Amino acid sequence: MNRRAKPRGSSRRGCFLDSRPGEAARLARPAVLRLAPYVGGRSLDDMEREFGRRDFIKLASNENPIGPSPRALAAMRGAIREAHLYPESGYPRLKEAIAERTGLTPRNVVLGNGSNEILVLAASAFLGAGKSAVMADPTFVVYRHAVTAAGALPVEVPLKGFRHDLAAMARAVTGRTRMIFVCNPNNPTGTIVRAAEVKRFMRRLPMGLIVVFDEAYVGFTRDIRFPDSLGYVRAGLPVLSVRTFAKLHGLAGLRIGYGLGPPDLVDAIERLRQPFNVNAVAYRAAEAAIADERHAERTVSVVRRGMRRLSAAFRRMGLKVVPSEANFLLVGTPRDGTEFASALNRRGVIVRPLPGVTLKNHVRVTVGTAVQNAGAIRAFRAVLENTG
């Protein structure tokens, strides 16, 4: 008589179909479950549903105040007509355009579904169990997520005077460290580290590291002492500069960014990049946007004028404003930033309160158009003059 053999281990573990709700959480890595999910700035649709009004001024997500270039819009319309086709494999034309603008070669360029994807891919390529990565605190929260997802340990070093403490970050490097993240200008403070500081920092680091410069806001910087991260790339050092089309070029909703590094570093990331990770509409829009230098210059001009106006107005109200080299301002508030932001919401203005303890009494304010900035100033003044 033939008897069906029981699956190995079935008597100890039970049948898969007997799994209880919540089983996936039990199977997840504890480090992942300790992460707080990323929460973006509240959308206009979300606010309109909650408050029943359609005149909100959104200054929460560091978006371009004037939108995409007309040339990018035209390229999008053309690409939509071919939405049934995959884009070119490898995105050669855009890589060539980026290389030409940066003085590099296409082999130095990797494209991502937003700059976030480049950060995640880099962490996956160079980190793993038993390794660590050093970063500032507070800074862009995606670094912590990317490092944890790669099975490595994020090591956070407090800011000093709202700026990266590069000396302390160098001291935090151990034999397990494989990556360092430097957000420059830093999100959410808008501050920068300068060329001389970075040079001293790099000299203190041992071999065997990848240094990632997240330069999402580089197009807005005015300080002539801003470091040339691409000089390290040209020298073949293990440096990755991560940039985006979301801010200066106004393509945030299309999700397209890029990394610049020596060919061997880029090759490692390319091996993990998923096929067609950048959609065809974003690809063509970015290609047109990078060629429209006049629109980029107009964006910078609008942001700089708006930043001067907002900074002066906030300071007249007695608020502390951190000098910024990005397209946003970190503003101190007289009470909890979340409560202050809620009071602004009731007056039709959306800003970003910040998680954690360090910047609890602050909000981040994106520079908008002249009309938006004027509305924000009125709302801030009204909240300060009333209980909110």
Average pLDDT over residues 295-317: 98
Question: Is residue 249 domain-shared with residue 165, that is, in the same domain?
Answer: yes
- For residue 247, what pLDDT is reported? 98
Final residue of a structural domain among 231, 262, 291: 291
CATH of the domain at 350: 3.90.1150.10
**Where residue 10 falls among pLDDT bands split at 50, 70, 90?**
very low
pLDDT band at 20 (very low <50, low <70, confident <90, very high): confident
Give 258-288 pLDDT, tens digit per residue.
999 999 999 999 999 999 999 999 999 999 9
Whether residues 286 and 329 share a domain: the answer is no
Whether residues 108 and 246 share a domain: the answer is yes
Confidence band for 16, pLDDT divided at 50, 70 and 90: confident
| Res 128: pLDDT | 96
Contact 221, 186 (CB under 8 A): no
Average pLDDT over residues 72-83: 96
**With 70 as the cut, is the pLDDT of residue 190 above it?**
yes
- H or E element, residue 137: strand 132-137
Question: pLDDT higher for 378 or 90?
Answer: 378
Q: Is the same domain home to 128 and 190?
A: yes
Residue 376 host element (H or E): helix 370-385
Domain co-membership, 237 together with 104:
yes
Q: Across residues 222-226, what is the average pLDDT?
A: 96
Question: Is residue 143 predicted with pLDDT exceeding 80?
Answer: yes
Rounded Cα distance between 359 and 362, Å, is: 5
Tell me the backbone φ, ψ of residue 180, rounded to 5 degrees. -130, 130
Distance CA 207, CA 296 (A): 38
In this prediction, residue 50 has a pLDDT band, given cuts at 50, 70 and 90, of confident
Is 212:182 a contact under the CB 8 Å cutoff? yes
Checking if the pLDDT of 32 tops 90, the result is no
Q: Which long-range contacts (CB under 8 A, 24 or more apart) does 128-134 make?
A: 128/152, 130/176, 131/176, 131/177, 131/178, 131/179, 132/174, 132/176, 132/177, 132/178, 133/177, 133/178, 133/179, 133/180, 133/181, 134/169, 134/172, 134/173, 134/177, 134/179, 134/180, 134/181
- Total structural domains within the chain: 2
Mean pLDDT value of segment 357-371: 96
Q: Which pLDDT does position 8 carry in this prediction?
A: 55
State the CATH number of the domain containing residue 146.
3.40.640.10
Which of 291, 310, 342 is at the close of a domain? 291
Listed residues 291, 312, 330: the one ending a domain: 291
pTM: 0.92
Does residue 175 lie within any of the structural domains? yes
Domain contains 305: yes
Residues 337 and 264 in one domain: no
In whole angstroms, what is the distance from residue 139 CA to residue 353 CA? 14
Provide the residue range defining the domain that includes 140.
70-291
Give the pLDDT score at 7.
53
Residue 152 counted as domain residue: yes
Looking at the structure, tell me whether residues 237 and 333 fall in a common domain.
no
